[in-house]
Structure 1
Amino acid sequence: MTQTVDLNADMGESYGAWKMGDDAALLDIVTSANVACGFHAGDWDVMAATMKAAAQKGVGIGAHPGFPDLHGFGRQRMNFATGSLQNLVRYQIGAAQAMARAAGGAVRHLKLHGALANMASEDEAMAKACYEAALDLAPDLIIMVLAGTAQQRAASSLGCKVACEIFADRAYNDDATLVDRALSGAVIHDPDEAGRRMAKMVGEGAIITNSGKRIETRIDTICLHGDTPSAVRIASEVRRALVDSGVTLAQFDGLPV
């Protein structure tokens, strides 16, 4: 049976005159785009332009909500009461839906960003609260989860559509969470290494951690961060390595887990 996997990238992270990443180049490589909603990065003009470009290229559009942390790029941990956290998610998804509709597209998936995502990967109740808020607005939304973590368990408990994600440019701990960016080796910058490890993980159907541990998981999509200097080269090499290993690239269908 031919394996199929989606390639996604976080984008729309520029802000005003400040530019982040090469979204135009990434949109020629990926099959899904996670667009910042203006809280950790992005603004109304950037959202509109990014979603219009994605819609024109047939790339799946996703909302990428984060903490209200422009200064820290959404990577500073914050604590909110559950109701406020849910409103934070709803607010950003609503903006994403409006911009996507105006651009001739639609939001088909949700992916939490940065510290919000990391905290939800450790805390099932937090993840569930975020996903319930999103599904209140869009019951057919596909929830992109960090495979093998509390995010996946939360989405599974809701019975919603799910896309299980692994990361091309991040190292893994033995509990399937991502190695803290403050630690050496947490971010992978070598395109060849990224391509090899993704072909291996998809081929084996498992996350391979820093210690060599294998964590068997469903793999629906691979994240290619857009904010690193080698992002486009990593994305190109991962795509090449997967195609060369016989993997078909296509948008995920969001089957429940």
Structure 2
Amino acid sequence: MKLNCDLGESFGMWKMGLDEQVMPHIDMANIACGFHAGDADVMAATLALAKQHNVTIGAHPSYPDKQGFGRRSMAMSDKELSNCLYYQIAAIDGMAAVHGLTLEYVKPHGALYNDMMSDERILNVVMRAVASYPKPLKLMILATNLSAKHQAMANEVELELILEAFADRQYTDEGKLVSRSLAGSVHDKSTLIAQVKQLLEHGTVTTRSGQQLALHADSLCVHGDNEAGIALIQEIKALCQQA
């Protein structure tokens, strides 16, 4: 299972994450496009790191919400949201081309990601925007109990999906992520490692209510915001290689 991580989320003099330490241990980099984090210099530096470590690159667009780090939902028309996505994807696509790299996929960020997984209209807009971009791109979405339906929606617009699971998050019985506001929604190290092993060995996770939920995931999302996180990514990577 390939590891993906959100990167390039610094801005100007403000630094977030440990991109240099994370990049050698992941397979896919979701790079911020400037609307929730990132700027031209940060994009360029992140792309250079990805090229150095032969990491696949993806666009990580969000609602235009830099103040809220893209974590606030916004009411946008279908056209507004589509143009918002085109703008951000084109930015990282162009920067990637300058570095001799090819953009491979799109993974929405924050509130936009959550909204598209709970609102079929928004998911449809995102799918159609990515499918109509003038180069082939895949779309990364959450693997849930509705993945077959989501795949059918993607097939209608000839879009390839990448289904992802989360190493550190607790799941509902439907396969959605438990709200961060609830205790236990973010796993400690031992629970996280147990969830990764369960995914790799059985293709399931144990939900908040104790149910076994099958998840057919292609990629596993990890986070490297601190030194402990880097060590954890290395441990997860070793488990994936063993599997």
Q: TM-score of the superposition, structure 2-length normalised?
A: 0.92
In structure 2, relative to structure 1, the CA distance for the partners of 1:240 and 1:91 (3 Å cut) is same
Task: Output the amino acid matched with 1:42.
Answer: G
Q: Which residue in 2 is equivalent to 1:255?
A: none
Give the drift of 1:139: 4.9
Give the drift of 1:236: 1.5
List aligned pairs for 1:92-241, cutoff 5 A: 92-148=88-144, 153-159=149-155, 160-190=159-189, 192-227=190-225, 230-241=228-239
SS at match of 2:59: strand
Task: Output the amino acid matched with 2:58.
Answer: G
Q: Which residue in 1 is equivalent to 2:15?
A: 19
**Which whole-Å deviations, capped at 9, do the CAs of 1:147-197 have from their partners, x for residues lacking one?**
01667734531222111100011111111111112222222242x432221
Give the drift of 1:138: 4.3
| Matched pairs, number | 240
Q: Does 1:70 align with 2:66?
A: yes
Q: TM-score of the superposition, structure 1-length normalised?
A: 0.87
Task: Output the amino acid matched with 1:221.
Answer: S
Can you give the 5+ residue segments of structure 2 that lack an aligned partner in the other structure? Answer: none
% identity of equivalent residues: 37
Contact 1:195 1:240 in 2 (8 A): no
Contact 1:33 1:62 in 2 (8 A): yes
**Which whole-Å deviations, capped at 9, do the CAs of 1:123-149 have from their partners, x for residues lacking one?**
122112112112211452111110016
In structure 2, relative to structure 1, the CA distance for the partners of 1:138 and 1:237 (3 Å cut) is farther
